[in-house]
Amino acid sequence: GAVVSQHPSRVICKSGTSVKIECRSLDFQATTMFWYRQFPKKSLMLMATSNEGSKATYEQGVEKDKFLINHASLTLSTLTVTSAHPEDSSFYICSARDSNSRNQPQHFGDGTRLSIL
């Protein structure tokens, strides 16, 4: 079945560091990918929709200069948390849309646990 690989699975770094998270669709092409943020015991909050070859569409309240999204190819989208601070600590999950799939609208990565000290 369709697989989405998200890397790294966990990162711990100092405040002020920029962190890049990769999301790859391994066996299908994804013109659209999504980035979510999940707080403990909370639901997924859609941050942005990543479109291959064009600018990402950010949800209301999400700082686009803080969370940089690049979708340069049909199989890779990256989320960069710039100058991360402790309040950015969270679980980030990506998903990829396989437009050829009639069974699943999105395939999810395993998430990245980001901890900012």
Write the DSSP string, the chain.
---EEEE-SEEEE-TT--EEEEEEESSS--SEEEEEEE-TT--EEEEEEEETTS--EEPTT--TTTEEEEEEETTEEEEEETT--GGG-EEEEEEEE-TT-SS-S-EE---EEEEE-
Counting contacts by CB under 8 A, is residue 41 touching other proteins? yes
Torsion of CA 27, 28, 32, 38, to 10 degrees: -30
Least Cβ distance, residue 97 to other proteins (angstroms):
5
Q: Is 105 in the site for other proteins (CB under 8 A)?
A: yes
Spell out, one character per residue from 1 to 40, where the chain touches other proteins: x when CB under 8 A holds, - when not.
---x-x-------------------------x-x------
49 binds other proteins (CB under 8 A): yes
Cα(70)–Cα(85) distance, rounded to whole angstroms? 21
Q: Which of 76, 93, 114, 116 binds other proteins (CB under 8 A)?
A: 93
CB of 6 to other proteins, least distance (A): 7
Is 63 or 110 the residue whose CB approaches other proteins more closely? Answer: 110
54 touches other proteins by CB under 8 A: no
By CB under 8 A, name the binding residues for other proteins.
4, 6, 32, 34, 41-44, 46, 49, 93, 95, 97, 103-106, 108-111, 113
